[in-house]
Structure 1
Amino acid sequence: MSQIYHVREGAVLSCSFGSGESELKVPKSHGTAIQGKNQATVTDHIGNVNIMTFGMCTKTDPPVPCVPATTLKWINGKKDYQLGGEMALLNTCIASCMQGGIIKIIHSGQDE
């Protein structure tokens, strides 16, 4: 099993229907930083705020520009470590897009 890391701004994301990778944005501090960048929580899931485009959405034929559409928080956050009342985001968390894609964290953003 791979190691579990807390996620910070700059983490690399992928979507099962995206043509490329994306980077996690955490513009608002939750009170903690990792290696000088904001630590993320499960609430950092908003499309075009936290989760940027994955290029093209390949769910349709022909593919159309990706617009990440998540309505639920990331799942599998760290229950015993919270920031501002929300679970910390871990590199094992996933989020679902309303287009049917599964968003995963490829790299935590930390200098591992």
Structure 2
Amino acid sequence: MGCPHVCSGATLQCSFGAAPATLNVLPVNRTLIGGMPAANIMDYIPLVNITTFGMCQSLANPTVASATAAAMGALTPMPCIPATATPWIPGVPTLLLGNMPALDANCTLMCTWAGVIKVVYPGQVQMLIP
């Protein structure tokens, strides 16, 4: 069985985020999975596609580094504003949505502040029928 494809409403988690986030997929590709817009690797735009993960704990994030320095070195998480600048990898090269590879549950997304964003729940479930 293949890996589930990702659609709008999927749950994401960042390695430095304090809370899960939701993937928002705009219906521009006109492809639905279970009634929800299907995602491709280009659905990585901060605050449009990738919502906030609550608080960021990465010292690579300048706001966290500043707050931590002001607190005499005690890690001080700051509000997360995703800094995703490149598409999801690797994508599904055999399935194109809007001329770009589709997104499946094995794909990851890198945040500029060193976080790795993974799909926790793809937004749809594949059912096996015996």
Name the counterpart of 2:87: 73
- Separation (CA, whole Å) in 2 of partners of 1:84 and 1:50: 16
- Separation (CA, whole Å) in 2 of partners of 1:64 and 1:54: 11
1:82 aligns with 2:81: no
More helix by share: 2
1:42 aligns with 2:56: no
- Separation (CA, whole Å) in 2 of partners of 1:99 and 1:82: 29
Quote the sequence identity (%).
41
Name the counterpart of 2:68: none
What letter corresponds to residue 65 of structure 1 in structure 2? P
* Partner SS state of residue 12, structure 2: strand
What letter corresponds to residue 7 of structure 2 in structure 1? R
Structure-2-length-normalised TM-score = 0.81
* Partner SS state of residue 29, structure 1: helix
* Alignment coverage as a number of residue pairs: 111
Which structure's CA Rg is the greater one?
2
1:55, distance to aligned residue in structure 2 (A): 0.3
- Separation (CA, whole Å) in 2 of partners of 1:41 and 1:84: 8
Name the counterpart of 1:21: 20
Structure 2: runs of 5 or more not aligned: 59-63, 65-74
1:99 aligns with 2:98: no
Superposition misfits of 4+ residues, deviation over 2 angstroms:
none
